[in-house]
Amino acid sequence: MTASENTNVYDYVIIGAGSAGCVLANRLSEDENMSVLLLEAGPDDTKSEIHVPALMRCLWDSEVDWSYQTVPQQHACLALKDRCCNWNKGKVLGGSSSINMMQYVRGAKEDFDSWERLGAEGWSYDNVLPYFLKSENNTSEIHIATDYHSRGGMLTVSNNSPLNKYSEVILEAAEEIGFKIQDVNDCVDPVAFGYTQYTIKDGQRCSTAAAFLNPDTRARANLEIWTDAHVTKIVFDDKTARSVELFKNDEKVTVNVKGEVILSAGSVGSPQLLMLSGVGPRDQLESLGIPVLCDLPVGENLQDHVMTIMRCNANIEGRPQGVVSTTGVDVAGFTKTKEGSPWPEIQIIWCPDYYIYGGKEKTAWNFSDEFICRQSIFRLRSRDPMAYPIIDPHYLEDPDDVKRMIKVDIIELIPYINQEMTPTYFRFPNCPHEMDSDEYWEHVIRHVSLTLYHPVGTCKMGAKNDEAAVVDPTLRVRGLDNVRVVDASVMPHLTSGNTNAPTIMIAEKGSDLIKQDMKL
């Protein structure tokens, strides 16, 4: 193995070309006087399955997936092999936006207002809404007619088409038990059911790579994009980042930086790289023999959504409708299980499926509810940059979490779906409890639980004097001169829904913060 040094010096070195990194590369390279290097550990997004929405599951555990895995869980994921949950995260241009289910969900107004109350000044809903709108090119005339959507941005947001004909039945049932039916991105009053929208353009996935690294952007003379470039360390002179070390084509390469290093490697990659570079909890770094540059609580705020999948028989022969340009998921709902909760703790997703019984194909529905888990642990496994970190989300460790999932209104909704479908639950195998009892549902929830792939918070944003924060409201790493984190890891707490749209928003706002500082 040989070593070399890239003699170029870049104004911005962006580590990670995922949902945030692609946005940053586009926005920062708009200034032709600024040189930008975008580094991605995985390949370019040329794999054909990436662009076909219905083939998203073919991408998981493939060469474009980091395929992280949790440690064995004690209270959840009990039906999974070794009780370990796979954390599929994109290792490709576009990152997880190239392998996810493409749902465009922003969260609740209170999510962002609470960020600001926790010390993230400038990140209230009124502050971040313009950045959601900046990215968006919404193709729905109904959505454009509201104040919550826009047209003309780079990220195409569209309806699933054609809609599955049974989704309307579910919405009617939800309305029957008192839910509002509306745009699920009406963040002001989000407790509702509605059709979801997707980052799909002309029947193909619209990842951040497709949207923000379009041919015109890639042709900019001041932007370089390196794929298969695995960053292993940031090198500092005192508290100033001077270079980045990486492996590319089995060669060790050093890249020099004169402006800023921007970490956009995600909620696993960004904290791991900070700690490998000497920025993190002192006791953890010293135990691994890593010299401590800056003692910060990196990795200590990990949060995720835990999901339980349940299946009901729709008693209809034949497969559900659908084509390769759709995801199969049309309907989502948001609800609360705790009186006075400022935001919905539960998101419900309905997905058509089919099975074979008696030699005939029959339609079924998988429905899942998701709940925030906040007791997670993230630690380095070793000094080896190729070794995956230790991830222990402690899913459903708190008994109250399970009780609140059992209370969710989705169970009440089932009997009302009685027009074209007459659902009946499948009996969960080998369960000793009476069907439909609380004990039965707890058994189901603990066995078929898994992640919904929304880890955040490992580089928490907070006030400059907040000792629990890793970055300040300008996304600068506390105590360092020229390092920022711009991705989902900066979220002070998890949003109420999917995290791809908020991550893109963070990158849009982060780009402006960086540009403002450069002008100063």
Six token digits for residue 399: 């008994």
Pairing state between β 197-198 and 103-104 = antiparallel
What is the C-alpha R_g of the chain? 23
Q: What's the per-residue H, E or C state across 167-223?
A: HHHHHHHHHHCCCCECCCCCCCCCCCEEECEECEECCEECCHHHHHCCHHHHCCCCE
Q: How does DSSP classify residue 427?
A: P
* Phi, psi of 368, deg, nearest 5: -130, 145
Burial 249-261 (b: 16+ CB within 10 A, else e): eeeebbbbbebbb
Six token digits for residue 340: 């006075």
* Three-state DSSP class for residue 365: strand
C-alpha span between 26 and 488 (Å, rounded): 18
Q: How far is CA 39 from CA 25, 85, 91, 508, in A?
A: 10, 28, 11, 18
- 202 Cβ contact list (under 8 Å, min separation 6): none
C-alpha span between 75 and 118 (Å, rounded): 30
User: Which of 307, 492, 514 lies closest to 396, judged by CA?
Assistant: 307
C-alpha span between 292 and 283 (Å, rounded): 9
**Please, are residues 94 and 206 in contact by the beta-carbon 8 Å criterion?**
no
Would you please indicate which residues are annotated as catalytic (active-site) residues?
A: 454
**Please, are residues 108 and 496 in contact by the beta-carbon 8 Å criterion?**
yes
**Please, are residues 269 and 16 in contact by the beta-carbon 8 Å criterion?**
yes
* Three-state DSSP class for residue 62: coil
Six token digits for residue 47: 């794999």
